[in-house]
C-alpha cells in the first residue's frame, strides 16, 4: 500500500481508492455515510482478506464520527457522547452483570499520546463496589474496571502482556481499548473519533510489528476507540527527515485542551454505554 | 496496640516501648543504630510473633535512613542513593541475569501519594532491551521492568491482583515495591526512608485489611521502600474529626518538591542497586 | 482577638460572639442569613472600627455562600455560579464599556494555593479583542483582563507592587482578586465561598502584615473572592508544632479535584457577572 | 527576505547567504565561530541597517551555543550553564548591588512554549531578601526578581505593557527575557541556545508586529535568551496548510523532558551570571 501512515480505516480507504484511480470500490470493503443529529458518521467494513490487504487494516467494522467542533460546543459534545455509547452497544451486547475492562493505552507524559490515560481517569469504575455491595448498586450499572498499562519504553514489558495477564486474572467479558491515533490528513487531527471491533495493534500507526490484541489472541471481544492527535512528520514533510530526528511530531497548539475535552467525551461515551440508565448529568455528579 | 497510625517500624517500636513504660526491650524485637557517612541508619528486626503483635508489623527486617536535609543537599542526596543501593543489595542477591519488577504504588493524582509513580518514571528500565539485544548490554546491567498499578478506587481492581497477574506472566526473581507512607511524628515526614524485606500490606497505614504482597503470597521476595509524606489528621488533631471529613491529610507545603526529590533519590538508589557498575553520573546521562 | 486563624468574616464573627459569651451581638457588626434556591447565604457587615477590631477584619461587606455539595452536583455548581455573579453585580455596577482586571493570587505550584491561578485560566478574557475590533463584540461583553502575579517568595516582588503597577498602566474600573483562604473549621474547607468588597490583605490569613489592596490604597474598587482550602495546622494540633516545621498544611485528599471544580465555579461566576447576556452554556462553548 | 520563519540570527544569516548565492558575506553582518570546552559557539553581529534588513533582525549581537547532547549529558549541561553565564556577563556588567528582572515569556500551558516560565521557577530570587536583611546576604549575590507575564490571548494585556509597568515600578538595571523560539532547521530544535543583547520582539517568530522590548523602548538593557522548541509547520510542509488549521506545530516527542532540562540549564546559567561566587552545586542546594 501507499507509504502514508494512518490509523484511520476511512483514510486508508480513501487513499486506496485514489491509488486505484478508476474510482471504483475496493473488493472486500463496504462503506456508507449516515447523518445523525447533524453529526456525520462513516462506516467502513472490511469483509475479506483482499479488503484487509488493500487497506492495511484487519477485517471488521470501523465507525468514524466527524466532530470538527467538539472542542467548542457543549451540544456537539453531548451528541458525540451518545453516538459513541450507541456504537459500543451495537458492537457488544452490554448486560449489567458483565465486567468490562477499559484499557487506556499510550504514554501519559507525551501530551498528544495521553488520550487513553485521560479517559481512564474519567471513568465511572464500579467493579470493586459491585463485588462488595452489589445489592446497593442500581441494576443498570455494569461492572467496570480500568488499567493504564504504560508503554514498552517505560515499563520494559509488552503492553499486550500486561493486558493479557490482567484479563486472565479478572476475566472480563469485554475489553474497550482507547488510544491516540495518527492521521494522514491534517483536518482529521482532533476532530475524528474511530470505533472498531477489530481490537488493537499496538504501535500499528508507526509501522511497528508487535502482536495485536483482539478476540482471537485474547479470547474476549476488544473494541478499540481512538482519535488522531498527530500527523506523522514524514507524511507532511517536503524534506527528508533524518532517522535520528524522526521523533518529531506534528500536532495542534491547543493539544492540551483537545486531550482534555476528547478524554471527557470518550470516557462519557463509555460511561453511558456501560451504565445504561444513567444520564450525562448523573455521571458528572458521580465523577465530579 | 496504640491507636496511633504509623507505617514506620521504628516509630511503632518507640511507641511500644513508651507504652510498656519500664523501658525494657520488647521480646522479639532487636534494634540497632549505625552512622554511615554522617547518615544515621536504624535497623529494627522483628524476630517472632510476639514482636510482630507488639509492633503491629510483619516479622522481618526494617531499615530506616534518616535524611533530614535530603531536599536541600546534593551531597546527602548522593549518600542516601548509595545507602539505599547497599541496603537493597544486602536484602537480595542482585545478579545481572535476573529480572526485577519495580512496582510504583499509590495514586499519582494525590501529590503526597505520588512517590511510587514518581520513582517508576525515573528508573533505568532494561528488560525489553536485554530481551532483544542482550549482547549489546553491559554485563552489569540487570533486567528491570516497572508498573504503576494504580489504586482500587480508580481501577476497580485490587492492586495485589494486578501485581500477581503481571508477576505470573513475566516471572521476575525480585519485586521492589515503592509507596508513600504515613508517620506519627511530624518530624519524620519527608525526612525518613524505610526499606524492609517483609513485602507490603496495601493500605496498612490506614487500618485497611486487604491481602499483603510478600514472599509467602506471591512466591518472590518483595522489598518495600517507602517515605512518610503525611501524618494522619486524627493523630495530631485535638478535636474529634467527624468520619465524613476523614479524608483530611496533613502534609508539608513543599510536598511537590519533596515528592520530586524523594522520587529521584529512591529511583537512583534502585538504579544503583540493580545496575552494579553504573555511577549516578552515568544514570543521569542515560535517563536525562 | 482569639488566636485562631481564619480568613472568613463569618467564622471570626462566630468566634467573637462565642468569646463574648453573653451571646449578644458585637457592636458594629450586622449579620443576616438568606436562603436562595436552596443555597444558604450569610451576610456579615462590619460597620465601624469597633466591629473591625473585634473581628480582625476591615470595615465592609462579606457574603458567605455555603455549598457543601459543590464538588458533586452540577445543579449546585450552576446555582452557585449565578449567586456569585449576582453578588458581584450587587457590589459593583458592571457596564459593558468598563474594564475589569481579575487578579489570580497564590502559588500555582502548591495545589491548595492554586485557586486564584486556576480561575484566571478559565476566564473569558476580552480586553484585547474589544480594543481591536470592538464593533464585532456583543454589547453585553465588558472588557476583562487577567494577571497571575505570583507570590513574593518566587518573584522577589511584593504582589501589591505588581498589581498596582499594572493597574496604573491599564486603568481598570474594577479589580476582582481571587485567592485561596484558611478556615478555622474543618467543615468549611472546600465548601464555602466568601465575597467581600473590602479588598485583600496579602497573607492576612497567616498573620502577615503587608500592605493591603483596596479602594483606598489603589484607587479602584477591589472585590475579593475566596474559598478556604486549608486549615492551619496550629489550629487543630494538640501538640505544639515547632517553628521550623510550621510549613505543615491540613487539607483534603481530593484537593486537586476541589481546586479544579472551585476554579471553574468562581471563574464562571465572574464570567456571568461581567458578560451580562451570556449563559453558562455560551461560556462553556467559548472557553472549551 | 525569504519566506522561512526563524528566530535564530545564525539561521537567518545562513539563509541570506544562500539566497545571495555568490556566497560572499552580507554587508553589515560579521560572524565568527569559537570552540569552547568542546562546545561550538557562533557569534553573529549585525552592525548596520543593511545587515538588519537582510537578516530581518535588529542591530546587535547574537551568540548561538550548539549543545546537541544537552539532554543526555550532565557534563555538557554544566559546560553550557557556564558558557551562558559568561556570555551574559560579557553583555552586561553584573554588580552585586544591582537588580535584575528576569522575564519568563510564553504560555505555560503549551509545553513547547513553556521555556520562559520553566526558567522562572528555577531562579535563585533574592531581591526581597536583600531588601529586608541585606547584611545577611553574601556580597556576591545580586538582586534578582522574576515575573511570568503570560500571553496576550490569556491575559488580555500586551506582554510589553506588563513588563514596562513592572519595570517602571521596581526600576531594575537589567532585564533578561527568556522565551521559546522557532527554528527553520529541524536539527536546531532543542539543541541550540541563542543569547542576544537586542531585546525581544514579542511574537517575532510568527510574523507578528507588536512593539519590541529593548533598551530604546524600555530604558534598560534587555538580554534575550531563547531555544528553538518548534519548527513552523508551514516551513516543512509540502502541502499548503489552510489558514484555519495554522495552529499546528512541529516539535519533538520528548518535548516535556527537553523543556525541563533546558529550563534548568538556562536558569542556572542566569543564576551563575548574577550570583558570582556561587557554584552549580551551591545553587542546587539552595533551590532544591
**Chain A CB contacts of B126 below 8 Å:** 156
pLDDT band at D287 (very low <50, low <70, confident <90, very high): low
The stretch D268-276 carries a mean pLDDT of 96
Answer yes or no: are the C-beta atoms of D115 and D266 closer than 8 Å. yes
The stretch C179-198 carries a mean pLDDT of 91
The pLDDT tens digits of the residues spanning D74-113 come to: 788 899 999 999 999 999 999 999 999 999 999 998 889 9
Smallest Cα–Cα separation from C45: which of C34, C36, C32? C32
Chain A residues contacting B, CB < 8 Å? 109, 120-121, 125-129, 143-150, 152-158, 161-162, 164-166, 168-170
Are the beta carbons of B125 and A154 separated by less than 8 Å?
yes
D121-148 b/e with 16+ CB inside 10 Å = b?
bbbbbbbbbbeeeeeebeeebbbbbbbb
Give the global pTM.
Answer: 0.86
Q: How far is D229 from chain A (nearest CA, A)?
A: 11
Q: Has residue C198 got a pLDDT over 70?
A: yes
Torsion angle (degrees, nearest 10) of CA B25, B29, B32, B33: -90
Q: What span, in angstroms and rounded, lies between the C-alpha atoms of C225 and C178?
A: 5
Answer yes or no: are the C-beta atoms of B62 and B43 closer than 8 Å. yes
Query: What is the per-residue pLDDT for D101?
Result: 98
Q: Has residue D244 got a pLDDT over 60?
A: no
Which candidate from C144, C155, C169 shows the least CB-CB separation from D147?
C155
Q: Has residue B245 got a pLDDT over 50?
A: no
Q: Has residue C204 got a pLDDT over 50?
A: no
Higher pLDDT, A275 or B20: A275
Q: How far is A115 from chain C (nearest CA, A)?
A: 17
Which candidate from A125, A153, A157 shows the least CB-CB separation from B170?
A157
Q: Has residue C280 got a pLDDT over 90?
A: no
Higher pLDDT, A150 or A240: A150
Are the beta carbons of A281 and C73 separated by less than 8 Å?
no
The pLDDT tens digits of the residues spanning B65-76 come to: 998 777 667 788
Sign of the alpha-carbon dihedral angle for B89, B91, B93, B94: negative
Q: Has residue C99 got a pLDDT over 90?
A: yes
Answer yes or no: are the C-beta atoms of B142 and B125 closer than 8 Å. no
DSSP string spanning D249-285? EEEETTHHHHHHHHHHHHHHHHHHHHBTT--HHHHHH
pLDDT band at B210 (very low <50, low <70, confident <90, very high): low
pLDDT band at D187 (very low <50, low <70, confident <90, very high): confident
The pLDDT tens digits of the residues spanning C104-154 come to: 999 998 889 999 999 999 999 999 988 887 777 888 899 999 999 999 999
In this complex, the chains that touch C, judged by 3 or more CB pairs closer than 8 A, are A, B, D
DSSP character for C108?
T
Are the beta carbons of B128 and A152 separated by less than 8 Å?
yes
Q: What is the mean pLDDT of chain D?
A: 86
CA angle C38, C39, C42 (to 5 degrees): 135
Higher pLDDT, A2 or A59: A59
The stretch D218-242 carries a mean pLDDT of 78
Q: What are phi and psi of C145, to 5 degrees?
A: -135, 170
Higher pLDDT, B14 or B115: B115
Q: What span, in angstroms and rounded, lies between the C-alpha atoms of D13 and B277?
A: 46
Query: What is the per-residue pLDDT for B204?
Result: 44
Task: Please tell me which residue of chain C has the smallest CA distance to A257.
Answer: C288
**Cα distances (angstroms) measured from residue C105 to each of A113, A237, C117, C213, D142:** 32, 44, 6, 12, 27
Query: What is the per-residue pLDDT for B67?
Result: 84
pLDDT band at B209 (very low <50, low <70, confident <90, very high): very low
Paired strand residues for C252 = B248
Are the beta carbons of A169 and B156 separated by less than 8 Å?
no
Which candidate from B146, B156, B158 shows the least CB-CB separation from A155?
B146
* Range with the poorest average pLDDT among A23-32, C28-37, C277-286: C277-286
Which candidate from C109, C143, C161 shows the least CB-CB separation from D170?
C161
Task: Please tell me which residue of chain D has the smallest CA distance to C123.
Answer: D154
**Chain D CB contacts of C165 below 8 Å:** 165-166, 168-170
Which candidate from D72, D74, D288 shows the least CB-CB separation from B71?
D288
**Chain C CB contacts of B111 below 8 Å:** 111, 256
Q: Has residue C246 got a pLDDT over 60?
A: no
Which three-class secondary structure string do you get for chain A? CCCCCCCCHHHHHHHHHHHHCCCCCCCCEEEEEEEECCEEEEEEEECCHHHHHHHCCCCEEEEEEECCCCCCCHHHHHHHHHHHHHHHHHHCCCCCCCEEEEEECCCCCCHHHCHHHHHHCCCCCCHHHHHHHHHHCCCCECEEEEECCCCHHHHCCCHHHHHHHHHHHHCCCEEEEEEEEEECCHHHCCCEEEEECCCECCCHHHCCCCCCECHHHHCCEEEEEEEEEEEEHHHHECCCCCHHHCCEEEEECCHHHHHHHHHHHHHHHHHHHHECCCCHHHHHHHHC
The pLDDT tens digits of the residues spanning A59-95 come to: 999 999 998 777 667 788 899 999 999 999 999 999 9
Chain C residues contacting B, CB < 8 Å? 109-111, 186-187, 189, 233, 236-239, 241-242, 245, 247-254, 256
Q: What span, in angstroms and rounded, lies between the C-alpha atoms of D106 and D181?
A: 10
Smallest Cα–Cα separation from A63: which of A94, A30, A93? A30
Q: How far is D115 from chain A (nearest CA, A)?
A: 15
Answer yes or no: are the C-beta atoms of B242 and B214 closer than 8 Å. no
Task: Please tell me which residue of chain D has the smallest CA distance to C107.
Answer: D121
Answer yes or no: are the C-beta atoms of C140 and D144 closer than 8 Å. no
Q: Has residue B112 got a pLDDT over 70?
A: yes
Q: Has residue D205 got a pLDDT over 50?
A: no
Q: What are phi and psi of C239, to 5 degrees?
A: -105, 155
The stretch C178-201 carries a mean pLDDT of 90
Answer yes or no: are the C-beta atoms of B178 and B88 closer than 8 Å. no
Chain B residues contacting A, CB < 8 Å? 109, 120-121, 125-129, 143-150, 152-158, 161-162, 164-166, 168-170
Q: What span, in angstroms and rounded, lies between the C-alpha atoms of D54 and D26?
A: 8
* Range with the poorest average pLDDT among B184-188, B273-277, D35-39: B184-188
The stretch B35-43 carries a mean pLDDT of 92
Chain B residues contacting D, CB < 8 Å? 71-74, 254, 257, 261, 281, 284-286, 288
* Range with the poorest average pLDDT among A208-217, B275-284, D210-219: A208-217
Amino acid at each position: 500500500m501507499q507509504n502514508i501512515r494512518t490509523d484511520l480505516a476511512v483514510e486508508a480507504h480513501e487513499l486506496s481508492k485514489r491509488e486505484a484511480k478508476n474510482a471504483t470500490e475496493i473488493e472486500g470493503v463496504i462503506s456508507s455515510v449516515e447523518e445523525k443529529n447533524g453529526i456525520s458518521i462513516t462506516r467502513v467494513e472490511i469483509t475479506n482478506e483482499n479488503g484487509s490487504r488493500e487497506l492495511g487494516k484487519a477485517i471488521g467494522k470501523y465507525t468514524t464520527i466527524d466532530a470538527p467542533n467538539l472542542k467548542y460546543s457543549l451540544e456537539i459534545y453531548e451528541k458525540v457522547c451518545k453516538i459513541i455509547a450507541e456504537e459500543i452497544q451495537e458492537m457488544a451486547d452490554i448486560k449489567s452483570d458483565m465486567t468490562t475492562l477499559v484499557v487506556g493505552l499510550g504514554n501519559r507524559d507525551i501530551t498528544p499520546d495521553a488520550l487513553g490515560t485521560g479517559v481512564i481517569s474519567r471513568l465511572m469504575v464500579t467493579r470493586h463496589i459491585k463485588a462488595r455491595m452489589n445489592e446497593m448498586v442500581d441494576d443498570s450499572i455494569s461492572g467496570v474496571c480500568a488499567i493504564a498499562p504504560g508503554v514498552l519504553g517505560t515499563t520494559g514489558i509488552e503492553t499486550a502482556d500486561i493486558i493479557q495477564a490482567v484479563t486472565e486474572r479478572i476475566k472480563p467479558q469485554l475489553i474497550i481499548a482507547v488510544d491516540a491515533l495518527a492521521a494522514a490528513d491534517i483536518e482529521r487531527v482532533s476532530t475524528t473519533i474511530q470505533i472498531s471491533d477489530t481490537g488493537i495493534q499496538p504501535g500499528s500507526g508507526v509501522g511497528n510489528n508487535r502482536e495485536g490484541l483482539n478476540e482471537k489472541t485474547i479470547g474476549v471481544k476488544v473494541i478499540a476507540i481512538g482519535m488522531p492527535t498527530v500527523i506523522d512528520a514524514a507524511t507532511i514533510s517536503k524534506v527528508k527527515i533524518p532517522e535520528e530526528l524522526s521523533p518529531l511530531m506534528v500536532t495542534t497548539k491547543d493539544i492540551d485542551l483537545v486531550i482534555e475535552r476528547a478524554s471527557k467525551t470518550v470516557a462519557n461515551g463509555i460511561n453511558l454505554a456501560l451504565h445504561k440508565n444513567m444520564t450525562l448529568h448523573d455521571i458528572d455528579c458521580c465523577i465530579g
